[in-house]
Amino acid sequence: MKSESNRKVLLIVPSRIMVRGIEGVFSDLGEFKVEGILSDISRTSEARLKNIDADIIIIDPVVFDYATRQSGRSKISEYSDAAVVALQTVTMEDDSWKQYDEVINIYDAPADIIRKLRSALSSHQESPATDSHELSSREKEILICVAKGMLNKEIADLYNISIYTVITHRKNITRKTGIKTVAGLTVYALLNNLIDSSSVE
Amino acid sequence: MGLICENVKDMSKINKEASRMVLSPSMKLADLIELNYSLLIVLSRLGIGLGFGEDTVEEVCRNHGIDLNSFLLICGIYTYDDYIAPDGLLKTGNPADVVRYLHSSHSFYLEDELRKLEDSLEELVAPCDSTQKKVIYRFFSEYRKEVENHFAYEENTVFPYVDALLHGNSRGGYSIEQFEENHSNIDEKLNDLKNIVMKYLPPVCDTVLRNSVLYHIFFLEDDLDRHTLIENNVLVPMVNRLEENEKRK
């Protein structure tokens, strides 16, 4: 288990002022730490999104264009299993906010922000089920390792994540595919061209 | 509102009780099969052939030398999802007949069902490429090995123990408690196979064949579930009783 201090936060916030403001709140109150900052959802951002093992993502939904805003949350979960909190900088339809684990308003007091991040984390852990039924890229990577016979510890070391996170990914893989055993996952990985025949000799 | 809910609950309870009453020694065996045709497989495992005419459950059991109470317990588990083995039947039922049933269903799985499933699975994946076929075959043979090991433990350890206990020459060092603790799950791989066939086989596989393999897996899953229930909820309590009697001697 990760310690309670220094939960990793990834910001997807275009405004520099707001980024500095959030960093200021975290440095005053501890518990959370900004691990990475993205100013948009471009292709290069997607790659970084995948590689940062964040506990929470704070996103300003203005990075999505109007048409994709409704599905913003599930787009994030394609790349990361972190809890996702929206930063409310503009007014939008109520439904657009409901998809997020929490919503931070720019007028929230620092303590409220921390409280909301905590509740986002705990509600996210209670129900890891995301809307997406497809495997995320990270889940696919871990599935490939499992299919090749790697142990949880080896997978954790390879991706520099905790064993706990590996186990969570594996649970999600089983929930999405319905396949529980390693032997079954190997068959799945091969049928879906995630591994080739040389890996299953 | 609350009152109505209560009434509905009571009604359904009564209905269930009523249908449970139907499973009685004096009913015709043909009517029992009409009630739940999956009992056909139970009959064949107990060596009861068809053509029993108008014979009642009691008569058929007597003619075949099968303990009536054990028969009712097995049929109960096969017929009702929420069946709780009645104490009276457990007390008077003969564990030897339950073991006989379990033993013959073991050989039924290994010699008939798994072989048939393997044949139809091979036919189903025939159009796949050779690597795909290889991993699927390997998966199936691992599954079969798991089932064989699971059954072998019961055949070589548990059943002889029950037999010895029944003949009054129990050997020390083993108790049915150990069986309860070590009773492993063999349903995971079968469930995986179901998902693979249903969701992930490439489209070149024939749909009709695929359906028939799926029907077969669903049937096996249910049957193995009932099989496990008979072990855990009928055999184990019966043997517990035997062990207690043994201690009192």
For residues B122 and A177, what is the distance between their CA atoms, to the nearest angstrom?
A: 23
Q: In which band, very low, low, confident or very high, does the pLDDT at A103 lie, cut at 50, 70 and 90? A: very high
Q: What does the pLDDT read at residue B68?
A: 95
Taking CB atoms and an 8 Å cutoff, what residues of chain B touch A183?
138-139, 142-143, 189, 192
Please answer whether residues A35 and A59 qualify as being in contact, where contact means their C-beta atoms are separated by less than 8 angstroms.
no
- Residue tagged 């070589």 (tokens): B156
Which tokens hold the place of A179?
A: 């396949």
Q: Lowest-pLDDT range, A122-136, A157-171, B90-104?
A: A122-136
Whether the pTM exceeds 0.80: the reply is: no
> Please, which residues have CB within 8 angstroms of residue B47's CB and are 6 or more apart in sequence?
B64, B104
Taking CB atoms and an 8 Å cutoff, what residues of chain A touch B188?
180-181, 184
In tens, the pLDDT along A78-92 reads: 778 888 999 998 888
Taking CB atoms and an 8 Å cutoff, what residues of chain A touch B132?
190-191
Q: What does the pLDDT read at residue A1?
A: 34
Amino acid at A10: L
Taking CB atoms and an 8 Å cutoff, what residues of chain B touch A176?
none
Taking CB atoms and an 8 Å cutoff, what residues of chain A touch B195?
177-179, 184
A32: three-class secondary structure by DSSP: strand
> Please, which residues have CB within 8 angstroms of residue A39's CB and are 6 or more apart in sequence?
A12, A13, A14, A45, A63
Residue of B nearest to A176 (CA): B195
Taking CB atoms and an 8 Å cutoff, what residues of chain B touch A188?
196, 200
What is the DSSP pairing of strand A32-38 with strand A56-59? unpaired
Element (H, E) at B74: helix B68-79
> Please, which residues have CB within 8 angstroms of residue B180's CB and are 6 or more apart in sequence?
B232, B236
Q: What does the pLDDT read at residue B219?
A: 95
From chain B residues 128-187, the ones with a CB under 8 A of any chain A CB are 131-132, 134-136, 138-139, 142-143
Point out the residue among A184, A192, A196 whose CB comes nearest to the CB of B189. A184
Integer Rg of chain B from CA: 21
- Residue tagged 């791989």 (tokens): B189
Which tokens hold the place of B243?
A: 């062990």
Beta-carbon separation of A200 and B135 below 8 A: yes
Beta-carbon separation of A178 and B139 below 8 A: no
Beta-carbon separation of A200 and B131 below 8 A: yes
Residues in chain A: 201
Interface A:B, Cβ pairs < 8 A: 54
| Domains of chain A listed by start with CATH number | 7-126 (3.40.50.2300), 137-200 (1.10.10.10)
Using beta carbons and an 8 Å cutoff, which residues of A are at the interface with B?
177-181, 183-184, 186-188, 190-192, 196-197, 200
User: How near does any CA of chain B get to the CA of A130, in Å?
Assistant: 20
> What string of pLDDT tens digits covers the 249 residues of chain B?
444 444 444 444 444 444 445 688 999 999 999 999 999 999 999 999 999 999 999 999 999 999 999 999 999 999 988 788 888 889 899 999 999 999 999 999 999 999 999 999 999 999 999 999 999 999 999 999 999 999 999 999 999 999 998 988 776 778 888 888 777 778 899 999 999 999 999 999 999 999 999 999 999 999 999 999 999 889 999 998 888 887 777
Q: What does the pLDDT read at residue A78?
A: 77
In 3-state terms chain B splits into helix, strand, coil percentages (rounded to 5) of 75, 0, 20
Quick check: B200 contacting A, CB < 8 Å?
A: yes
For the stretch A104-112, contacts whose Cβ atoms lie closer than 8 Å and that sit 24 or more positions apart, written own/partner, are: A104/A58, A106/A18, A110/A25, A110/A28, A110/A29, A111/A29
Beta-carbon separation of A184 and B196 below 8 A: yes
